[in-house]
Amino acid sequence: MNKTSKIKKMNKRAISNLVVASIIILIAIAFVGAMFIIIKTTMDKPLFSETTSCNDLFANPPIKVLSACYNESSLTLSVSVQRDLSGKEVNLLKFATLVNGESTVWECGGNVCGICDVPNEGERKTYFFSIEKAPTEVTFAFDNCIQGTIGVKEC
């Protein structure tokens, strides 16, 4: 073998090493770019949905309790609510009473399928709950964020 054929062989080996190194660098740059895009889009999304902020729900409640009344003849508590058109998600609606130191809680939505549903946007709904003694007030909560208390009147 003469010197020129040895140099050509060495140049081919050197060029193939450069090509492999260039491909590895391009793959690394593409990987870093993809990771940047994934991290940036993840960081731009809110960590919690609007429904998890109790302060936001309290300041702008998507559901308002309009009235609560107790019918002594049927032993029924009626609670009327109105949902707004804000688009805020509400998965669980709770009503609680306290009568003679005994509390009773009713849930609508969540895992209670079909029995008691959360009202749709713009919908007005009246819930009827059986209770033996007349409560003086009803406390209500959305997605486990207490919203307030309303007095119970006679129906």
Given the candidates 1.20.1330, 2.40.50, 2.60.40, 1.10.20, the CATH classification of the domain at 52-154 is 2.60.40
0.75 exceeded by pTM? no
| pLDDT for 51 | 42
**DSSP secondary structure of 66-91:** EEEEEETTTTEEEEEEEE-SS-----
In order along its 155 residues, the chain shows pLDDT tens digits of 555 555 555 566 667 788 888 999 999 999 998 888 888 777 665 544 444 467 777 778 888 999 999 999 999 999 999 999 888 888 888 899 988 888 888 888 876 555 678 888 999 999 999 999 999 999 998 877 888 899 999 98
| pLDDT for 48 | 47
| pLDDT for 7 | 54
| pLDDT for 62 | 87
**DSSP secondary structure of 32-59:** HHHHHHHHHHHHHS-SS-GGG-HHHHHH
pLDDT in tens, 9-20: 556 666 778 888
Angle at 39 between CA 38 and CA 41, to 5 degrees: 65
Amino acid at 77: L
